[in-house]
Amino acid sequence: MKAVVYRRHGGPEVLALTERAVPEPGPGEVRVRIVVSAVNPTDWKARAGLRAQPGADVPETVPNQDGAGVVDAVGPDVTGFTPGDRVWAVIAGAYGPGSGTAQEYTVLPAAKLVRLPDGAGFDEGAGL
């Protein structure tokens, strides 16, 4: 799958398009096919390294904490979500450097997803 990543702090020039394996959901997790990924101030500040120690190592990071999409798969013990559900993600990037929404699929804890109401678009969900 395609993903945007960064491996060092800086401006937009540090972002790169790459290929990553499609992640598999584990117990209590849900895989979401991202339809809309949104950038908020926390995202660009993290990428810029505004809170990082100078010279700190940067793991390969998929940015963007906000997003919305469609449930693609659920892990063991997940109830309340099924493939095809439309959802928005709550602080997706907080679950590790590979969990941001600037990729085609992400895996998140089921507790951090909210079903989109009927009539709400993915752009609205990503902006919540």
Q: What DSSP letter does each residue of 54-91 carry, written as one string?
A: TT-----B---SEEEEEEEEE-TT--S--TT-EEEESS
Q: End-to-end distance of the chain based on CA atoms, in angstroms?
A: 25
pTM of the model: 0.92
Q: What is the CATH number of the domain that holds 39?
A: 3.90.180.10
**Per-residue confidence at 54, pLDDT binned at 50, 70, 90?**
low
Q: What is the pLDDT of residues 55-101, one digit of tens each?
A: 677 899 999 999 999 999 999 999 999 999 999 998 887 888 889 99
| Strongest mean pLDDT among 49-53, 67-71, 98-102, 118-122 | 67-71
Helix (H/G/I), strand (E/B), else coil: 124: helix
The residue assigned the tokens 């101030």 is 41
pLDDT at 20 over 90: yes
Least confident residue range of 8-17, 30-39, 48-57, 74-83:
48-57
Number of domains forming the structure of the chain: 1
Domain extent for 52? 2-126
Residue 50 has a pLDDT of 86
**Around Cβ 59, how many Cβ atoms within 10 Å?**
10
Residue 94 has a pLDDT of 80
